[in-house]
Structure 1
Amino acid sequence: MEKAEIGLIGLGVMGSNLALNIAENGHPIAVFNRTTSRTGTFFEAAGDLRKMIVPCTTLAELADAIKPPRPVIIMVQAGQPVDEQIAALREVLSAGDIIIDAGNANFRDTIRRFSELDGSGLTFIGMGVSGGEEGARHGPSIMVGGTEDSYKRVEKILIDISAKFEGEPCAAWLGTGGAGHFVKTIHNGIEYADMQMIAEIYGVLRDGLGMKPKEIGAVFAEWNKGRLNSYLIEITATVLAADDLDTGKPIVEMILDRAGQKGTGKWSVIEAQTLGVSATAIEAAVSARILSSLKDERLAAEKAYGTGGVSKFSGNRDKVLHDLELALFAGKIAAYAQGFAVMDAASKQFGWNLPMPTIAKIWRAGCIIRSQFLGTLADAFEKSGALANLLMAPAFIEMMKEAHPSLRRIVAQAAEAGLPTPALSSALAYFDSYRQGRGTSNLIQAQRDYFGAHGFERIDAPGAHHGPWAGGG
């Protein structure tokens, strides 16, 4: 076989599937795994695609198997393992070769790695890949950060393996440095909020309306035919309809209510706060996962306090279901508005010039948050140009005017019923705060001036001013 066009290190679930995707799309690939037995197992299981795969037992063999300039994808655990792999590759690669970190890296680590490779002759790409196992195998959404020239050298491969939305590839160069990994981080933050709000609606349907999993699944399946059409709504309907093979009970009822996380949601919250951008729905979703991990404490608290007087939702069921659909839609809009606001701030901070319409477009297929909604979002950015906030796009103003009263009713009823809706409540508070021209922080400024002489601005005169209190601190 001719030499490979690209190499890949790390044959875990994502790496293996990405390698098969590359091979299936006609690009010869050399592969390496630290545990060499896994390389052999992967190669034997590749079937007809083996003719496109070069299994390698050493990094030197990997480098020799690829046509220069050599692009090599790293698919290993984020953090120190990536640094160790880069150090090892520096021993076998040559000037002009490209190291591509396609894991869930912290974008600040990506920026550091660019700096550390500066002057080495090697090129680096930080690449966000979304879509999970299925996406990696059949077409993920790909978010690339690095020099535009380095992207162009691997563009054909990335375009070929990416998901397609109505023929358009869901892969793009987004900016220099850590841009790709930052966008992937915010994608995951939005994903956290989306999933949490869906879970909160599920809780209302289960505990507020007394519905069984299959009934709830049917509701989500119906919603998936309309404005909420998305991958997450689709799989929610599917999992709620599934039965446990061991007990015959709905599988969702056999799953412990303790959610895990791998760090990207937390990173998105940290960066939002560092950039001074309010992302309360995302923050609430991350906090909800943290609270979910405290299973023993929650059981003890329930014993001490009871369930808080949980009661059923009142009113016409069809009306409540309609409100729940619109409430979820309004919460989704708020979460996306926050995520894109964070990306806008980072774009300015790091000089990336992130293309917001393009980001929305490459999320329309392949990734976990893919949805019909993203087409509307892309159109909004293209029509409105630079938006301070998605909530100010004309199309979204109209949608929120229709949906926010339902969000308000659901949050209020949930509070009355004792049902937690942290992300939906945060989304509502964010919306109400954002549209309030005269807020209440004037009192906070007065307090700060009183105890710390921090000063404040007046509504009738420029400059810094102090109040009529003396020595209040």
Structure 2
Amino acid sequence: MTGFTPAPSSADLGVYGLGVMGANLARNLARHGHAVAVYNRTTARTERLMDNHAAEGEFVPAADLADFVASLRSPRVAIIMVQAGAGTEEAIGQLAELMEPGDIIVDAGNTLYTDTRRREEALRDRGIHFVGMGVSGGEEGALLGPSIMPGGTEESYQRLGPMLESISARADDGAPCCTHVGPDGAGHFVKMVHNGIEYADMQLIAEAYDLLRHVGGLSVAEIAEVFRSWKDSELDSYLIDVTTEVLSRTDPATGQPFVDVIVDAAGQKGTGVWTTQTALELGVAVPAIAEATFARAASSSADARAAVRGASIELGASQDAPLAGVEREAFIEAVRQALYGSKIAAYAQGFDEIATASAQYGWNIDLGAMATIWRAGCIIRARFLEDITRAYAQEPELASLLTAPVFSAALAGALPAWRQVVATSALTGVPAPAFAASLAYVDQLRAERLPAALIQGQRDFFGSHTYHRVDDPTGVYHTLWSTPERAEEKWN
């Protein structure tokens, strides 16, 4: 294969980078009737793909990058599937030198949207389309049908769209889980927020498990059955299925529940951090996502955890006896309702972040379409995304997802149990930071008045930062705090 030279213009598109994700994406494209050029800097990976999967479709292998580009029909499309960072930067530069105006380079990795915006602008000046494309679904999704979130120009999507839609997951109504998200970095931004919501969803599920085990007194096997039963509720989702499988597994080496032999330090690759940092920059509240990110960091702080555990008596941690009987069943239901309420809040925060960025950058992102393409293929696919899709179809300009009738009614029903669960968490010392932060978020948005008025007064006192008055909301005022009469000045 290393001496093979592909015929010019013989491939519909190409995949550069044949790790598991890249190879699976190439196979998915080939299985759907597209001629796929394949290239990897380590030729052995290209050879392995051809040795194992050549019969699945039409592949056009190349050992040389120039041959890879030459094999693409015009306008050329090259999808990069390499490690984010320096590897992606290098691949983009190499391809750009070989491509012509009108050609398309697609970055399908997890890339910070600001890098995508920078790269898109630079390549636009050279006449090359650059598409930042989010792909969710993991290795299996890449092969069998992911949720795909491409940004870039409308013109590039006219070329890419039919191919991407053909390989994407399909929702129950048959709609492809792929759509053009918006210009420049919009696709990678939406994928970033998707991952932030994923962080929150996973943390909330983990907190539910912890409460059921250490307050409810359920065994791991019993908790697995509880999660399995929740498939018949509005909590039905891929992550609930995953949780059920993990909790149902027994470690063959020790005979213990599998979850008990895993070190309790959660890893992360940065998208939760990006989502949180970006929300701070945009001035958007995403407390569930932030607490989920912080919880992973806290779980990995082994030395600090050990030190604080040693001081637990002084800290006054309290743990009552596990619940039993009717009380236990009632607590299980309360946790279910708290989980659903928190999940609604977390998704509302994510959609608010997308809406805010869309307005700031002029992306014009269709929030309902984002919910639509997350219904299958992606990690956060869930039954209640159908409700989100319908909510935005009925009112595209929702100020908050919490105001949609289906969710406002659900929150009203869940709030009493949700408060009980958060209070129980605090009283027993079983941490549930994402549950608590999500509840506080809803309460903040519901409040008639917030203590922010006091904060503005404080800021004006020590920094002359000014304030608005309720009887003159457009006016800008400052109080002369150092004068005996505390005189007030209007600054505009």
Taking structure 2 as the reference length, the TM-score comes to 0.93
1:91: how far off?
Answer: 2.4
Q: Does 1:411 align with 2:422?
A: yes
Paired with 1:129 and 1:223, the residues of 2 have a C-alpha distance of 28
- Report the equivalent of 2:338: 327
State the AA in 1 paired with 2:79: I
SS state of the match for residue 477, structure 2? coil
1:344 paired residue among 340, 355, 370: 355
Single out whichever of 296-305 and 229-238 deviates more from structure 2.
Answer: 296-305
Q: Are the equivalent residues in 2 in contact too, given 1:259–1:293 (CA < 8 A)? A: yes
- Report the equivalent of 1:87: 93
1:36: how far off?
Answer: 1.1
Q: Does 1:255 align with 2:267?
A: no
1:47: how far off?
Answer: 5.1
Residues 345-424 of structure 1 aligned to structure 2 (within 5 Å): 345-424=356-435
* Structure 1 unmatched ranges of 5 or more: none
Paired with 2:467 and 2:107, the residues of 1 have a C-alpha distance of 47
Paired with 1:70 and 1:160, the residues of 2 have a C-alpha distance of 18
SS state of the match for residue 126, structure 1? strand
**1:292-319 superposed Cα distances (whole Å, 9 cap, x missing partner):** 1112321221022258223345471111
1:468: how far off?
Answer: 6.1
Q: Are the equivalent residues in 2 in contact too, given 1:142–1:362 (CA < 8 A)? A: yes
1:458: how far off?
Answer: 1.7
Q: Are the equivalent residues in 1 in contact too, given 2:348–2:401 (CA < 8 A)? A: yes
SS state of the match for residue 469, structure 2? coil
Identity %: 47
1:48 paired residue among 55, 60, 75: 55
Q: Relative to structure 1, is the Cα distance of residues 47 and 210 closer, same or farther in structure 2, using a 3 angstrom cutoff?
A: farther
SS state of the match for residue 8, structure 1? strand
Paired with 1:116 and 1:57, the residues of 2 have a C-alpha distance of 28
Q: Are the equivalent residues in 2 in contact too, given 1:193–1:282 (CA < 8 A)? A: yes
SS state of the match for residue 78, structure 2? strand
Q: Does 1:130 align with 2:131?
A: no
SS state of the match for residue 451, structure 1? helix
- Report the equivalent of 1:448: 459
1:428: how far off?
Answer: 0.4
Aligned residues: 472
**1:152-194 superposed Cα distances (whole Å, 9 cap, x missing partner):** 1011110111000021100000111101000000000100000
2:77 paired residue among 71, 74, 81: 71
1:451: how far off?
Answer: 1.2
State the AA in 1 paired with 2:236: N
Q: Are the equivalent residues in 2 in contact too, given 1:311–1:418 (CA < 8 A)? A: no
Residues 7-406 of structure 1 aligned to structure 2 (within 5 Å): 7-46=14-53, 48-49=55-56, 51-166=57-172, 167-306=174-313, 308-312=317-321, 314=323, 316-406=327-417
- Report the equivalent of 2:438: 427
State the AA in 2 paired with 1:139: G
Single out whichever of 88-97 and 462-471 deviates more from structure 2.
Answer: 462-471
Paired with 2:258 and 2:62, the residues of 1 have a C-alpha distance of 41
Paired with 1:4 and 1:247, the residues of 2 have a C-alpha distance of 52
SS state of the match for residue 42, structure 1? helix
Paired with 1:230 and 1:309, the residues of 2 have a C-alpha distance of 33
Provide runs of 4+ in structure 1 moved above 6 Å: none
Q: Are the equivalent residues in 2 in contact too, given 1:360–1:374 (CA < 8 A)? A: yes
Q: Are the equivalent residues in 2 in contact too, given 1:455–1:466 (CA < 8 A)? A: yes
1:446: how far off?
Answer: 1.3
State the AA in 2 paired with 1:470: S
1:397: how far off?
Answer: 0.8
SS state of the match for residue 476, structure 2? coil
* Structure 2 unmatched ranges of 5 or more: 1-5, 485-492
Single out whichever of 8-17 and 331-340 deviates more from structure 2.
Answer: 8-17
Single out whichever of 132-141 and 306-315 deviates more from structure 2.
Answer: 306-315
1:246: how far off?
Answer: 2.3
Paired with 1:245 and 1:20, the residues of 2 have a C-alpha distance of 34
- Report the equivalent of 2:487: none
Paired with 2:253 and 2:194, the residues of 1 have a C-alpha distance of 35
SS state of the match for residue 196, structure 1? helix
Taking structure 1 as the reference length, the TM-score comes to 0.97
State the AA in 2 paired with 1:36: T
1:340: how far off?
Answer: 0.4
**1:103-144 superposed Cα distances (whole Å, 9 cap, x missing partner):** 001010000001111232221111000001111110000001
**1:305-343 superposed Cα distances (whole Å, 9 cap, x missing partner):** 258223345471111111111100000000011000011
Q: Are the equivalent residues in 1 in contact too, given 2:179–2:369 (CA < 8 A)? A: yes
RMSD between aligned alpha carbons? 1.7
Q: Are the equivalent residues in 1 in contact too, given 2:16–2:82 (CA < 8 A)? A: yes
State the AA in 1 paired with 2:276: V
Q: Does 1:465 align with 2:477?
A: yes
Single out whichever of 190-199 and 212-221 deviates more from structure 2.
Answer: 212-221
Paired with 1:164 and 1:210, the residues of 2 have a C-alpha distance of 40
State the AA in 1 paired with 2:91: Q
Paired with 1:391 and 1:221, the residues of 2 have a C-alpha distance of 27
Paired with 2:158 and 2:483, the residues of 1 have a C-alpha distance of 63
1:439: how far off?
Answer: 1.2
Paired with 2:220 and 2:483, the residues of 1 have a C-alpha distance of 62
Q: Are the equivalent residues in 1 in contact too, given 2:368–2:396 (CA < 8 A)? A: no
SS state of the match for residue 376, structure 1? helix
State the AA in 2 paired with 1:328: L
Paired with 2:254 and 2:20, the residues of 1 have a C-alpha distance of 29
1:218: how far off?
Answer: 0.6
Paired with 1:265 and 1:38, the residues of 2 have a C-alpha distance of 31
Paired with 2:457 and 2:159, the residues of 1 have a C-alpha distance of 57
1:345: how far off?
Answer: 0.4
SS state of the match for residue 316, structure 1? helix
Paired with 1:273 and 1:392, the residues of 2 have a C-alpha distance of 23
Q: Are the equivalent residues in 1 in contact too, given 2:144–2:169 (CA < 8 A)? A: yes
Single out whichever of 21-30 and 448-457 deviates more from structure 2.
Answer: 448-457
